[in-house]
């Protein structure tokens, strides 16, 4: 890493009674990096994010954000941060512009600064024309972009994004990813939690895979796929009752076979060749497709479960 | 389309003080920053509130002060040696202030945590939970004071005050509403869900406190076994003080000190518990 990490967690733990929401995780995030926390719902991602923002105390371990302990210097840490929460908490009764202004005043930012800053943020979020519209008139994607614009009001060095595109349609997601890319280009550190593997692949330079409060793997999206999966995956469906039945006959055709309730996954370097072998063996799947390995496969391999239940 | 140069400026314009300075400023002035934004946001409903705040007293004073008052004055004679309108006026200011406090301290508090989640939005900024709690209490205090001032002006217009100190009814109402509101806010901040709690509170706590608090008749007219309702009701303590201010109702120094102490006590306890509960709820 080029310099001291902007966020460093060592043995970070959060316990609720007997439940270990976060069970001793360690990671470093470099300034300007786009870092992902990938895991299913309830893995401890949001809990980790809140500890970074100092709005949740930790039960153990060390944590430093911009060199500060968020639990001791929460308000200063949050002055460094932009936070995009999982659930929008815009004031729906107010206009788009007023939402940005009020949030800026929570930071005590001067009115003259805000007057100049708000049009720039609206331009970035492609909401200039909606400036006077009430927030409850906006679409889901627009609200999300406004929440991101709001998080940028204090020119944060670090942007925390908790499930940034959950609930958005594909086009709105791509628009949002594009915005986040641009921020990364100008040096903003992105910390993203997600349970979408495509989002993690698109957005993150590096990520940790979390399950049940523990880190299962760490690396670049490509690196993780190379390490924990094969180049290609063949997905075949024989019908719900036949999938498990056929599995023994396919076992030798691929490096690894996973049986899911609705389909079989065959991990291999050459998918087309495997498909031909399946046909040659006289098996005729109802549907079949060959695709590249994804982080979903990595997660399945590491935990035996899929990301989205 | 935004070019790289504009983007760089968006991310770092060089026009902001360093984060440590931003945070230090919020730590020093956070409560007032919160109040300022609350007042700004109140623009959307303030007009309708002000209209109600003028019309409501007029209706109350016409019906109770003149209507009921003329009957009372003819049949039973005057209470405290003043016409019924003068007697009931300051009490109504206090009572409507407490009604407003009940309103501001129930659903809006639940909404701040759960429905609109505006407290959670504020918490992602350098504001601290304690400042959000105190900021909320101070913000709604602005409403109580504005409403009480309007009511007092209507009372003046009705010629229903007898003392140069009658304006003190406004801060007395503010204190009473804070005392009551802070306790209810503390209660609401501890609730996870709202089923019927606020409705029960309205019917079985606020209403008795209002009806048995010496608003419409002196507490001494009630049978002795009901006096305790008045004693525990901030409305009664506020009302007694408001009558002293408005028309110089007789009161010993000790009684005055006692009424004031009770209200300050409620206010202090409510404020402390509210602050604790906000902090716990926003950091768990």
Nearest of A161, A173, A300, A279 to residue A225 by alpha carbon: A300
Question: B-contacting residues of A 86-105, CB under 8 Å?
Answer: 87, 89-94, 98, 101-103, 105
* Under 8 Å between Cβ of B31 and B135: yes
Q: Is B39 helix (H, G, I), strand (E, B) or coil?
A: helix
> pLDDT-derived band of residue A1, with 50, 70 and 90 as boundaries?
very low
> What would the pLDDT profile of B156-206 be if each residue is shown by its tens digit?
999 999 999 999 999 999 999 999 999 999 999 999 987 788 889 988 888
Nearest of A200, A206, A227, A207 to residue A308 by alpha carbon: A200
Q: What is the mean pLDDT of chain B?
A: 92
Is 70 exceeded by the pLDDT of residue B58?
yes
Residue B134 pLDDT: 98
Cα pseudo-dihedral A70, A75, A80, A81, rounded to 10: 80
A113 has a chain B CB within 8 A of its CB: yes
Buried/exposed A75-86: b ≥16 CB within 10 Å, e otherwise: bbbbbbbbbbbe
- Sort residue B14 into left (φ over 0), alpha (ψ -120 to 50) or beta: left
Residue A240 pLDDT: 76
Structure token pair of residue A297 = 């496969």
Residue A308 pLDDT: 59
Is 60 exceeded by the pLDDT of residue A74?
yes
User: Which residues, in sequence order, are CB contacts of A282 under 8 Å at separation 6+?
Assistant: none
Query: Do strands A264-268 and A256-259 pair parallel, antiparallel, or not at all (unpaired)?
Result: antiparallel
B245 has a chain A CB within 8 A of its CB: no
CA–CA dist B182, B190 (Å, integer): 12
B222 has a chain A CB within 8 A of its CB: no
Contact across the interface for A187 and B10, Cβ inside 8 Å: no
Q: Is A99 helix (H, G, I), strand (E, B) or coil?
A: helix
> pLDDT-derived band of residue A147, with 50, 70 and 90 as boundaries?
very high
Contact across the interface for B40 and A101, Cβ inside 8 Å: yes
Distance of CA B217 to the CA centre of its chain: 23
Residue B6 pLDDT: 84
Give me the residue from A78, A80, A91 closest to B124, CB to CB.
A78
Q: Is the ipTM of this complex over 0.85?
A: yes
* Under 8 Å between Cβ of B256 and B241: yes
Nearest of B175, B161, B174 to residue B244 by alpha carbon: B161
Q: Which residue has the tokens 């959060």?
A: A14
> pLDDT-derived band of residue A213, with 50, 70 and 90 as boundaries?
very high
Is 80 exceeded by the pLDDT of residue B1?
no
Residue A305 pLDDT: 74
């Amino acid at each position: 890493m080029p310099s001291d990490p902007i966020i460093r967690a060592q043995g970070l733990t959060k316990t609720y009674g007997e439940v270990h929401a976060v069970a001793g995780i360690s990671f470093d995030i470099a300034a300007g990096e786009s870092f992902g926390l990938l895991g299913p719902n309830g893995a401890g991602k949001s809990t980790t994010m809140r500890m970074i923002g100092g709005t949740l105390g930790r039960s153990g371990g060390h944590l430093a954000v911009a060199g500060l302990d968020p639990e001791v210097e929460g308000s200063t840490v949050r002055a460094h941060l932009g936070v995009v929460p999982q659930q929008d908490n815009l004031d729906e009764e107010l206009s788009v512009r007023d939402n940005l202004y009020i949030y800026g005043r929570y930071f005590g930012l001067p009115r003259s600064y805000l007057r100049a800053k708000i049009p720039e943020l609206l331009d970035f979020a492609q909401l200039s024309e909606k400036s006077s519209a009430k927030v409850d008139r906006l679409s889901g994607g627009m609200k999300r972009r406004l929440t991101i614009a709001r998080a940028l009001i204090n020119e944060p060095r670090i942007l925390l994004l908790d499930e940034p595109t959950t609930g958005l349609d594909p086009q709105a997601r791509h628009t949002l990813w594009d915005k986040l890319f641009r921020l990364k280009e100008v040096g903003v550190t992105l910390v993203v939690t997600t349970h979408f593997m495509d989002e993690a692949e698109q957005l993150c330079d590096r990520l940790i895979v979390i399950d049940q409060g523990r880190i299962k793997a760490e690396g670049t999206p490509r690196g993780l796929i190379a390490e924990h999966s094969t180049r290609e995956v063949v997905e075949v469906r024989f019908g719900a009752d036949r999938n498990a039945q056929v599995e023994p006959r396919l076992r030798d055709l691929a490096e690894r076979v996973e049986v899911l309730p609705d389909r079989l996954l065959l991990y291999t370097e050459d998918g087309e060749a495997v498909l031909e072998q399946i046909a040659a063996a006289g098996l005729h799947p109802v549907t079949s497709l060959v695709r590249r390995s994804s982080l979903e496969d990595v997660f399945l391999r590491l935990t035996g479960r899929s990301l989205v239940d | 389309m935004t070019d790289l140069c504009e983007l760089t400026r968006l991310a770092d314009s060089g026009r902001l003080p360093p984060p440590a300075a931003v945070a230090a400023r919020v730590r020093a002035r956070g409560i007032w920053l919160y109040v300022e934004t609350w007042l700004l946001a109140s623009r959307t409903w303030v007009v309708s509130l002000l209209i109600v705040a003028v019309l409501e007293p007029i209706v109350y004073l016409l019906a109770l002060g003149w209507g009921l008052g003329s009957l009372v004055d003819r049949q039973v004679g005057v209470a405290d040696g003043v016409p019924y309108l003068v007697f009931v006026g300051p009490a109504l200011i206090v009572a409507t202030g407490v009604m407003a406090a009940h309103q501001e301290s129930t659903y809006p508090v639940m909404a701040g945590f759960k429905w609109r989640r505006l407290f959670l939005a504020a918490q992602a900024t350098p504001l601290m939970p304690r400042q959000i709690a105190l900021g909320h209490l101070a913000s709604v205090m602005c409403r109580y004071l504005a409403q009480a001032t309007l009511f007092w002006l209507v009372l003046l217009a009705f010629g229903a005050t007898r003392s140069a100190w009658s304006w003190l009814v406004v801060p007395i109402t503010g204190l009473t509403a804070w005392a009551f509101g802070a306790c209810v806010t503390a209660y609401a901040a501890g609730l996870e869900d709202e089923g019927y709690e606020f409705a029960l509170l309205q019917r079985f706590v606020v209403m008795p406190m209002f009806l048995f608090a010496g608003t419409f008749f002196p507490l001494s007219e009630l049978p002795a076994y009901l006096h305790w309702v008045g004693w525990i009701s901030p409305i009664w303590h506020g009302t007694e003080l408001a009558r002293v201010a408005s028309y110089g109702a007789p009161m010993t120094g000790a009684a005055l000190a006692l009424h004031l102490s009770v209200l300050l006590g409620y206010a202090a306890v409510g404020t402390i518990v509210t602050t604790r509960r906000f902090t716990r709820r926003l950091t768990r």
